[in-house]
Amino acid sequence: MKRRAILAFTLDHPGVLNKISMLIRKKMYNVDTLTVCRARIPGVSRMTITLRESDQARVDQVVRQLEKFTEVISVKELDTDHSYWREVAIIKLEIDASVLETFQGRYNFEILEQKSDDIHILQVAGSTRRIDAFLDEVGQEHIVEIARTGVTAMEK
């Protein structure tokens, strides 16, 4: 199943998120990630939804039906090659500081706090794949807790 990102600009009104998520449920998708933030224009929200679908026609349908909502100002599918998809993860790790240092050059992370010799809270930003790779390399056994924002995206 191909991963899709849909970018929508909507009015910043109560119920809009509800309406959008309800449509996606009605179309029988499980939302992979959904991020909402304020757009540059006051009163407008920016929403990035990712879901999995191989059939292009079905994705176009979702886009068209989202477009139909009076609160949705514009919406489009972002294609992977022509847009940046990024997320942020906050990770609590139980790991030796020396081991952590070995990742430093290769992954873009910031240590937010070192709670003890081996408990670190750090922040990693990057593509979903990059964060997954970091987590794999660190090893699941070292991860105490993890919080990820989900994807936000922008066209090139």
Partner 1 sequence: MNGKQLLLKALKERKVRFLFGYTGGAIMPVFDEMERMGAFEFVMARHEQGAAFMAQGLSRASLSTPTPQIGVCLTTSGPGAMNLVTGVADAHMDSVPMLAITGQVATGVIATDAFQESDVVGVMMPICKQTYMPLAAEDVEKTVHEACYVATTGRGGPVIIDLPKDIQNQQAGEDYRFDAKKFRPHLPGYFYTPTPEREPIRQAIELINKSERPLIFCGHGVINSNAGDLLQRFIEKTNIPVASTFHGLSAIPADHPQHLGMMGMHGTVEANRAIMEADLLIALGMRFDDRVTGKLDEYARNAAVIHVEIDASEIDKNVRTTVAINADVYRTLHVLLGDPMLTCIPRRRWWDKLNSFREVMKEDLREEIEVGIGNDNKLLMKGIIHRLSEVTRGRDLIIPDVGQHQMMCARFYNYQTNNSWFGSGGAGTMGCSLPMAIGVKLARPKERVWSISGDGGFQMNFQELGTIMEKQIDVKIIILNNGYLGMVRQWQTFFFDGCFAGTPMQSPDFGLISQAYGIPYRKVELLEDVVPALEEAIACKGAMVLEFICDPAEVILPMIPAGGGFGDMIIRHPHAPKKDQSKQGEAA
User: Binding residues for partner 1, how many (CB under 8 A)?
Assistant: 21
* 3-state SS class at 60: helix
Is the torsion defined by CA of 148, 80, 154, 104 positive or negative?
positive
Determine, following the binding rule CB under 8 A, whether residue 104 of this chain makes contact with partner 1. Answer: no
Say whether residue 73 binds partner 1 (CB under 8 A). yes
Among 61, 80, 102, 108, binds partner 1 (CB under 8 A): 61
Q: What number of other Cβ atoms are within 10 A of residue 5's Cβ?
A: 20
Neighbours of 7 (CB within 10 A): 19
Q: Does 53 bind partner 1 (CB under 8 A)?
A: no
Q: Least Å distance between CB 65 and partner 1?
A: 5
Residue 89 host element (H or E): strand 83-94
Residues making contact with partner 1 (CB under 8 A): 10-11, 15, 18-19, 22-23, 26, 57, 60-61, 64-65, 67-74
